[in-house]
Amino acid sequence: MKDFIDFLKQEGISADLLQEVQAFSGSQIIPDELKSRIPSPHFYYYGKKVWEEALAVLLCGKNLMLTGEKATGKNVLAENLAAVFNRPIWDISFHVNMDAASLIGTDTFHDGQVEFRPGPVYCCAKYGGFGVLDEINMARNEALAVLHSVLDFRRVIDVPGYQRIPLSKDTRFIATMNYNYAGTRELNEALSSRFVVIQMPRLTQDDLQRLLTDQFSDLSAKYIRQFSLLFLDLQKKCENGELTEKALDLRGMLDAITLVHKGISIREALDLGITNKIFDTYEQGLIRDVIAARIPAKLKPSEVFA
């Protein structure tokens, strides 16, 4: 936690905001069984403006929606926020078959009786957790209607036949969505009006370089720059519709660099981390061209690391 506050100070986040965050994070005692739900993120989100906006939104008790293309750091920021506010997190990945029961909870048998089994939204409400509604626009609007009373001023879950549960004052919901995913639907007005929306900017070369420096302390400056540019080249190709967003895989690139560390040749490692994840041979050709335009074929792994 202290590390995180130090990181945010380095990012230049306003001291007043940080003070409020610290007050919020220490305000409630977290039960032991939920402590494992407080994330300890592997990556930091970089970007002062977005950080300040997100912190302000959550401190005001509003729900946050992060919209942006793939690899803009939506989930990283959501996880970072839960960590900095020191709250347990419930990740809810939305899909087409999502229904109200998967969110709130469902009936089950226990000791010969029908009993309510709480869902992630219910748990968030009860324990003051942060609910990450991942890819919220992948679900049908009908399934999401159950969230209306949870997300607006009522802050309550009403489970028919059981009880009416008010949300803990610390509960927040962070939704993420990508408009460009194939087939995703537009969020209806009733739902989107219940969020404050941050449009996530694309990762810049500086952000990528910082990320790579953080993750691989021995990666040479020359190749930190080349890998960042390689990612941006792929990003530009996706933006212009020449590649699908599947090719834009930051995790894949980080995995590839890890493999190079273990002695795998760089082109092979990038194939394993990025190219081979695309099953379309035409797109594979385009990705290999982007790599070939930047990374020499005969480059030895030892040259990549300082």
Partner 1 sequence: MKQTSYTALQRQAANQVWNAAGCYDFEPLFLADHAKDSISDFYMNLLIGLAYKYYGEQTICDLFNYWRGDVRESMLDDLTWLYLEQVLYTLERPTRPSMPELRTSYAKEFFAGEYQLSRQEWMSKNTLVYHMQSARWSAVLKSKKRPLLLREQKLYQALTPTKIPSKDKLTGTLLGIYQQFHLFDGKKHEKKMFRFHFTGTAAKVLSRIMPVSRSKNTQITVMRSEQAETLTDKTSGEKKQVSATQNKESHDRAYIENCFGRLIFPEREMKKAERELCTGNHRGCHLWFTDGKFNSVNELSSEFRHLQEQADFQTERNRSYYHKNIQLHLSLISRLTDQIRNSILIHQQPDVLPGRGGNLDTTRVWRAKYLQDDRIFHTKEEDDHPAFTVDLLLDASASRLQYQEILAAQGVILAKSLLACHIPVRVSRFCSVRGYTVFHILKNFTEKKCDRIFHYYATGWNRDGLALREAAELLQLLPSPADKHLLLILTDAAPNDSQRILPSENAPFGSAYEEHAAIKDTAAEVRALRKNGIHVSAVFMGNDGEVTNAKQIYGKEFTRIRQIDQLSKAAGRLIQKEIRELYS
The footprint of partner 1 (CB under 8 A) covers: 96-97, 99, 101, 106-109, 114, 138, 140, 142, 161, 181-185, 222, 225-226, 233, 236-237, 240, 242, 244, 279-283, 285-286, 289-290, 292-299
In the bound state with partner 1, the residue whose beta carbon lies nearer, of 40 and 97, is: 97
In the bound state with partner 1, the residue whose beta carbon lies nearer, of 7 and 305, is: 305
Q: How far is the CB of 293 from partner 1 (least distance, A)?
A: 6
In the bound state with partner 1, the residue whose beta carbon lies nearer, of 145 and 293, is: 293
Q: Which two three-digit tokens encode residue 95?
A: 């899909």
Q: How far is the CB of 223 from partner 1 (least distance, A)?
A: 8
**Whose CA is closest to 294, among 269, 266, 272, 275?**
266
Backbone angles phi, psi at 70, to 5 degrees: -65, 150
Is 75 within 8 Å of 134 (Cβ atoms)? yes
In the bound state with partner 1, the residue whose beta carbon lies nearer, of 153 and 279, is: 279
**Whose CA is closest to 87, among 136, 42, 21?**
21
Alpha-carbon distance of 26 to 86, in angstroms, equals: 8
Provide the pairing of β-strand 64-67 with 113-118.
Answer: unpaired
Q: How far is the CB of 98 from partner 1 (least distance, A)?
A: 10
Q: How far is the CB of 197 from partner 1 (least distance, A)?
A: 21
In the bound state with partner 1, the residue whose beta carbon lies nearer, of 62 and 246, is: 246
Q: How far is the CB of 125 from partner 1 (least distance, A)?
A: 20
**Whose CA is closest to 8, among 65, 57, 48, 66?**
48
